Amino acid sequence: MARAARIALIVAAALSSIGFLALAAWQVQRLGWKEDLIARVGQRVHAEPVAAPPASASVSKDDEYRRVRLRGQFEPREALVQATTELGGGFWVIAPLRLEDGSAILVNRGFVPPEQRAPEQHAAPSGPVELLGLLRLTETGGGPLRKNAPAEGRWYSRDVAGIATQLGVVDKAAPYFVDETADPAQPQRWPRPGLTVLHFANNHAVYAATWLALAVMAAAAAFYLVREERRRPLP
């Protein structure tokens, strides 16, 4: 191998080691962010419920998974969003809850399997209701490789604006939706509430260790090449 090629190989190994170290540092930062997120979400879901923000309020990620209390009356219309849960495949049932001030909040009443998708099989309670839930941010676009098709009534994500438009409440709808939580004092029913996924994948420590190991290997390779180059006799 020519000397120029050996020098290029040494430089490439050294730069690779630096790059792997940068990636390891980035994953350590991501680890801190993810652990902070998990801690904050854990605090929110176990905190005392508060009144849901008004429909005119803006919400952010700092509000997501906050426990909220709602009072209103369900309107006799709904949208079904395809879902996969611990109970299998089926649909989320999204229904507008009309509040006393005339605004509406989309409520994810829970999950139904395909055989329970007919509205008469999971009708919302009539009259005023009070429920607890977790505030969630809108999910635009659709699912992996599948876009929402509003004109056909096919939903793969809980797109608040799109579903509110389909249900005719877009002008007074809150910019978020609420996952209804299960009431342990009530018998199980369809739709089945309380299936919000609160587990966040946290593999950043593994990724950081992998990048660090690669950085060490690249540095060792660079050191070995430098040592061998120094041992070579001068031309």
Q: 81-137, pLDDT tens digit by residue? A: 999 999 999 999 999 999 999 999 999 999 999 999 999 999 999 899 999 999 999
More confident residue, 46 or 21: 21
Q: For position 1, what pLDDT does the model report?
A: 58
Q: What gap in Å lies between CA 160 and CA 59, rounded to an integer?
A: 13
**How far is it, in rounded angstroms, from Cα 83 to Cα 101?**
31
Q: How far is CA 206 from CA 14, 17, 32, 39, 120, in A?
A: 23, 18, 13, 20, 48
pLDDT digits 0-9 by tens, 67-78 = 999 999 999 999
- In the chain, where are the structural domains located? 3-41+202-231, 66-180
Compute φ and ψ for 5, nearest 5 degrees: -65, -40
User: In the prediction, which pLDDT does 63 show?
Assistant: 92
Selection from 183, 174, 190, 205 nearest residue 28 by Cα? 205
**pLDDT, mean over the chain:** 90
CA distance 153 to 155: 6
pLDDT at 39 over 80: no
- CA-derived radius of gyration, the chain: 26
